[in-house]
Amino acid sequence: MFEEDRLPNGPALTLAARVLFTSLFFLSGVTHFTNIPYYVSLMPEAIPYQTFWILSSAFVELAGAAMILFNWRARLGGWLLALFLVPVTVLVHGYEMLHADTEAMRLMQQAHFLKGIALTGAALLVTQLGAAHRSA
């Protein structure tokens, strides 16, 4: 029979979860600064002030990820990441999925779109539950 008490549960697992979740945002946030032309190429041309949005999103990603990783105002950090993820998921990956030139590109953008939805869900969980270890 399934016994919940026997499942791994502890501060080390909570820390590992925070590291795994935030690693994507740290890497992405840094590369938003170091490879601006790449991120401009991902954005639909109709979006104005592309460099501004790329640099702003880098700050939001890094701040939100740091807040969750260090469990300092983690719920606010979750909101920052959700604020970043929703427009990126819809305006970049959703747009590209609908306007892809090839089936392979459509499927790749669909995977990015679904990943964005899943990450948004995880960020929203952090907004509600925080990121600290809680005993069962």
CA atoms of 74 and 52, how far apart (whole Å)? 25
Return the pLDDT at 127. 98
Task: Check pLDDT > 60 for residue 1.
Answer: no
Q: What is the pLDDT of residues 11-60, one digit of tens each?
A: 999 999 999 999 999 999 999 999 999 999 988 888 999 999 999 999 99
Contacts of 3 (CB under 8 A, 6+ apart): none
Q: Quote the tokens at residue 85.
A: 């993820």
Sign of the alpha-carbon torsion through 120, 22, 91, 113:
negative
Q: Which residue has the higher pLDDT, 10 or 64?
A: 64
pLDDT score recorded for residue 4:
66
Query: pLDDT tens for residues 58-117?
Result: 999 999 999 999 999 999 999 999 999 999 999 999 999 999 999 999 999 999 999 999
Residue 8: what pLDDT? Answer: 79
The predicted model scores a pTM of 0.90
